[in-house]
Amino acid sequence: MIKTSEAERRFPACLGNRKMDAVDKLVVRFHFNGEFLFDGKNTCYVNGREALSYIDRKKVSLNEIRDQAKEHCEEENKLVTSRRIAEKYENLIKANPQWSLNHIQTTISEEMFANVSISKIKRAKALVMKKMFDDKKGEYSLVFNYQEELLRSNPGSTVMVKLDLDEVEPVFQRFYVCFDACKRGFLAGCRKVVGLDGCFFKGATNGELLCAIGRDANNQMYPIAWAVVEKENNDSWDWFCSLLFRDLKVGSGEGWVFISDQQKGILNAVHHWAPLAEHRNCARHIYANWKKKFRNKEWQKKFGDPHHWSRAWFKIGSDCDSVDNNMCESFNKWIVQARYLPIISMLEAIRCKVMVRIQENRDKAAKWNTLICPNIYKRLKSYITESAFCHPIYNGDDSFEVKTQTSRFTVNLSTKTCSCRYWQLSGLPCAHAISCIYYKSPSLDSFIASCYNVDHFKSTYQHCLKPVEGIDAWPISQRPKPLAPRYVRMPGRPKKERKREITEKCKTTKTCKLGSIIRCSKCKGVGHNKSTCDSRQGVQSARNASGPPTKAILAVPGSQQSSTSCHKRKANASARAISTEKAKRTCTGLGLQSRKSSQDTVNLDIGKRRVIRTSATARVATILGGTATMNLHAHGRSAHASSNVTITVTSGTASAHVQTHEPAPRSNSPQRKRRLPQLLLSPPRSDGNE
């Protein structure tokens, strides 16, 4: 007899709340097949082997187990249904919707000791995903309650909910959130540089997430605001930018820099709400789009307006020389798991990640004892190494003339300028300036822009997000509950990952095919495969011909000896003309009477000739009443010798001609004339087959 504590320790999976759940889990644990029959107070197990013969009705809650299993059945158990799998692994599947079916099958085999089919796991996962989709629909009705809770817990924040005005009933459309701590932290210690981007949801609902990301003093991302919209277009970006620019007090945009891709909605919105702001486009996106249209290298150098992507045209004063939007891309990757969740769960996951990030950076900054942030020092190390190849010439004041191996620059330490413009753009001294600074001073700290100081980093992260209550404690909004937006299934198979551009690096887990050589297994040529071999050689493929095709194959067997032994050996060369047909038919145009799986071969002895060495086999398809010509080139005995074989098939009549060409020897000794080899075909047989 096993007591309760020991049963919980040995068989934790057997315990359950409901009575039948407890019995079913016990049966699954011991791999029983059969049914339970209740007779009064007793529970009897029948239609199975003698394993669990008696369970007390009063003890069905598993306070004790009267008997142990005597014989085990096979692991296929009908009680391990898709519903039970869905109930047991519901939380795991919700937490990781990408959990593969094979991994679920392995987990069930290890934990439940049962073998289940992949189809059953598919049904179980479908039940969980359907429940998740229903939960997502249910979360849309709580957006107003969530809005009021965020405004209550984080006063000063901006939280906006927009409904679809085209619908009769209230239908959710957009949700914008910008916490007061993020807003004040950005204005306190970050540069006026903001990245704008959007990303798709990964779950079963439609929509996109728009984000605005800043840069802190350590050159790391700083989330400012994010919004849920139906899709990226002019209207959604205009709505998002209007709220964002009002929170950040952008005004006309003087002194501000916005970085994005070439999405037209962003371009129009920034130009509308901040006409004086500098708008940079991500050079990688511009170059990728340009390269699709113009393959020529010379045209690729002229892509886009240089005012949007070239450092030579950037305005001075932003202390940022970036030409990419990697901060937004990093944020999208950072929240990739949250994008699988329903709307409120996703927003809560993002809020928690931002709150934890602020706390971690506060603790990190408390341990720094330098004036400049660590990432900035790492960046300066490479410039210090380059400064060893710069030779400054001092003019007696604050100006220097710096010589390098190929060019010459001027540096002024009082105005913190260099003729290469990098110092003015980034706020960090370039290699030319560093060589001049070390000429007069051993420290670089006073020549670095103040936006990279640790004090600015601490000012950014001194504002913390306030905690939020659970869903049960949220205030109840009096506004009508909005419905979920209609789900529109996109055409084609759902994409799991973003399609990478040609210029991007492949994932580290996959081998890049860029630069690999494709070799045809049919003709051994380079640049194509066997599926496109016939079309590249200019020969019509048999499967593309109208009507059942007839294939004529010429095979000239070659010797496997080297070129040296070829001079010493002679062999009998033979040619075969083979006609194959797929089905039983009558070719009146060719005058051929075919039969099932017929092959007619004509072997002709040419005599003792020099072997035509070749490993290629040419194929040609003829149509009813058509004409086909096939050429085969091969090398002869000499290194400069060549051979040409021509076969012509015309209305059932085949003719072949072989020519060889060998240059005259260099020696003056007389050479014996060689008769040209000839290939003859026997006349067609009486049955009409070729």
Closest residue by Cα to residue 452 from 218, 194, 214, 213: 218
Domain C-terminal end among 134, 167, 197: 134
With respect to residue 577, please indicate whether it lies within any of the assigned structural domains.
Answer: yes
Same domain, 129 and 152: no
C-alpha distances (whole Å) from 40 to each of 20, 22, 422 are: 16, 19, 90
Q: Phi and psi of 418, rounded to 5°?
A: -140, 145
Domain that holds residue 631: 530-661
CA distance 9 to 4: 9
- At residue 645, the pLDDT reads 64
Same domain, 234 and 273: yes
Are 550 and 578 spatial neighbours (Cβ–Cβ below 8 Å)? no
Measured over the CA atoms of residue 350, residue 352, residue 353 and residue 354, the dihedral's sign is positive
Same domain, 41 and 105: yes
Q: Dihedral, CA atoms, 7, 10, 13, 19, nearest 10 degrees? A: -10
Chain mean position to CA 654: 55
Are 427 and 191 spatial neighbours (Cβ–Cβ below 8 Å)? no
Q: Phi and psi of 372, rounded to 5°?
A: -110, 150
Closest residue by Cα to residue 575 from 611, 612, 614, 602: 602
Burial of 132 (0-12, 13-18, 19+ CB in 10 A): buried
Measured over the CA atoms of residue 79, residue 84, residue 89 and residue 93, the dihedral's sign is positive
Same domain, 165 and 263: yes
Model confidence, pTM: 0.59
Mean pLDDT for back-to-back runs of 10 residues, the chain (690 residues): 40 42 53 48 48 42 43 60 89 81 89 86 88 75 94 96 87 95 94 90 82 93 95 92 94 89 82 88 63 57 56 71 82 90 91 96 93 91 90 88 89 90 88 90 87 93 94 92 77 67 67 75 84 62 40 36 35 34 34 34 38 45 53 54 65 64 58 52 47
CA distance 236 to 466: 28
- At residue 210, the pLDDT reads 95
CA distance 250 to 194: 11
With respect to residue 53, please indicate whether it lies within any of the assigned structural domains.
Answer: yes
CA distance 56 to 608: 97
Same domain, 117 and 170: no
Same domain, 154 and 129: no
CA distance 200 to 231: 9
**DSSP class of 574:** E
Same domain, 150 and 169: yes
With respect to residue 681, please indicate whether it lies within any of the assigned structural domains.
Answer: no
Domain C-terminal end among 452, 472, 490: 452
With respect to residue 300, please indicate whether it lies within any of the assigned structural domains.
Answer: no
Same domain, 614 and 554: yes
Closest residue by Cα to residue 463 from 353, 358, 331: 358
CA distance 579 to 440: 90
Residue partners of 297: CB distance under 8 A and separation at least 6 = none
Same domain, 340 and 386: no
Residue with tokens 């004090």: 455
The CATH number of whichever domain residue 231 belongs to comes to 3.30.420
Q: E-assigned strands of 168-277?
A: 172-178, 193-200, 208-215, 221-229, 257-260
Same domain, 109 and 229: no
Same domain, 389 and 346: no
Strand partners, 551: 580, 621
- At residue 236, the pLDDT reads 93
With respect to residue 680, please indicate whether it lies within any of the assigned structural domains.
Answer: no
- At residue 96, the pLDDT reads 79
With respect to residue 352, please indicate whether it lies within any of the assigned structural domains.
Answer: yes
- At residue 74, the pLDDT reads 45
- At residue 17, the pLDDT reads 42
CA distance 378 to 374: 6
With respect to residue 167, please indicate whether it lies within any of the assigned structural domains.
Answer: yes
- The count of structural domains within the chain is 4
Q: Where are the alpha helices (DSSP H) in 319-467?
A: 326-334, 343-366, 374-386, 422-426, 431-440, 454-460
Domain C-terminal end among 80, 107, 134: 134
With respect to residue 613, please indicate whether it lies within any of the assigned structural domains.
Answer: yes
Same domain, 49 and 93: yes
